[in-house]
Amino acid sequence: DAGVTQSPTHLIKTRGQQVTLRCSPKSGHDTVSWYQQALGQGPQFIFQYYEEEERQRGNFPDRFSGHQFPNYSSELNVNALLLGDSALYLCASSFNRVTEAFFGQGTRLTVV
Amino acid sequence: GQQVMQIPQYQHVQEGEDFTTYCNSSTTLSNIQWYKQRPGGHPVFLIQLVKSGEVKKQKRLTFQFGEAKKNSSLHITATQTTDVGTYFCAGGGASGTYKYIFGTGTRLKVLA
């Protein structure tokens, strides 16, 4: 039984570019949440997808958008990348939004 | 907006000593979760507390949820080198919201 898988593991982008990160939730999970974790900080909630809709959103600009597919997998898109977007992006899956969250290994994004 | 603070930020202990981290929310929580993140790793779920005043134990770890559901603590008895990592609390908001706000984390180092 695979856990939460994220791709790619590492990514280097240039300022102004766009990036798409992908997440496959743990088998049986229907909810995907995305977090941004800067070095030495706690994960910051970006948004949560449930039933293919964005249900909750943190304090992130509209440059951050997402999608959830019928198979519950999810994508995080970031447009017009800034240097400050460099961070570890974590995907967490859970069942019915409120149970324990299982985190993927994350995607390390570096913006240069 | 809701804020979750943890103290201390860092803690160095000798192996065998006890360790406690405290979590305080600016708002009343519906529940609280605790995670452990090893260096270079991703957060791993430890436990979820829901009831006011709830106390749960996992071997050497004791978790407590405050009566007012605004604070929580994690206590480790007789620390071991395997306890090294950063411990995060994550507060679940009031009913109807499903995002978890992570605390600032406490980084634990255990000296052998």
Q: Residue A19: which CATH number?
A: 2.60.40.10
State yes or no: pLDDT of B63 exceeds 90.
yes
CB A56 within 8 A of CB B100: no
A43/B88 Cβ within 8 A? yes
State yes or no: pLDDT of B26 exceeds 70.
yes
B100/A90 Cβ within 8 A? no
Per residue in B76-86, pLDDT (tens digit) is 999 999 999 99
What is the β-pairing status of strands B106-111 and B85-92? Answer: antiparallel
d(CA A31, CA A50): 5
At A105 the pLDDT is 95
What is the β-pairing status of strands B31-37 and B44-49? Answer: antiparallel
At A100 the pLDDT is 83
Find the domain containing A83 and state its range: 5-111
Residues of A in contact with B99 (CB under 8 A): 33, 45, 48, 56-58
- What are B39's strand-pairing partners? none
B103/A42 Cβ within 8 A? yes
At A36 the pLDDT is 97
Mean pLDDT, residues B57-63 taken together: 98
Domain count, chain A: 1
**Domain-by-domain residue ranges, chain B?**
4-111
More confident residue, A39 or B73: B73
Q: Which fold has domain B4-111?
A: Immunoglobulin-like (2.60.40)
Residues of B in contact with A90 (CB under 8 A): 42-43
Per residue in A46-92, pLDDT (tens digit) is 999 999 999 889 999 999 999 999 999 999 999 999 999 999 999 99
State yes or no: pLDDT of A98 exceeds 90.
no
Q: How large is the C-alpha radius of gyration of chain A? A: 13
Flag whether residue A35 sits within 8 Å of chain B, measured between CB atoms. yes
d(CA B110, CA B112): 6
> How many inter-chain contacts (A to B, CB under 8 Å) are there?
53
E strands within A19-86? 19-24, 31-37, 44-50, 53-57, 64-68, 74-78
Rounded to a whole number, what is the distance in Å from the CA of A60 to chain B's nearest CA? 13
- B interface test, pick of A6, A35, A49 with most B CB neighbours within 10 Å: A35
Instruction: Give the mean pLDDT of chain A.
Output: 94
- A interface test, pick of B30, B36, B42, B50 with most A CB neighbours within 10 Å: B42
d(CA B97, CA B90): 14
At A89 the pLDDT is 98
b/e per residue B17-36 (b: at least 16 CB within 10 A) = eebebbbbbeeebebbbbbb
More confident residue, B98 or B44: B44
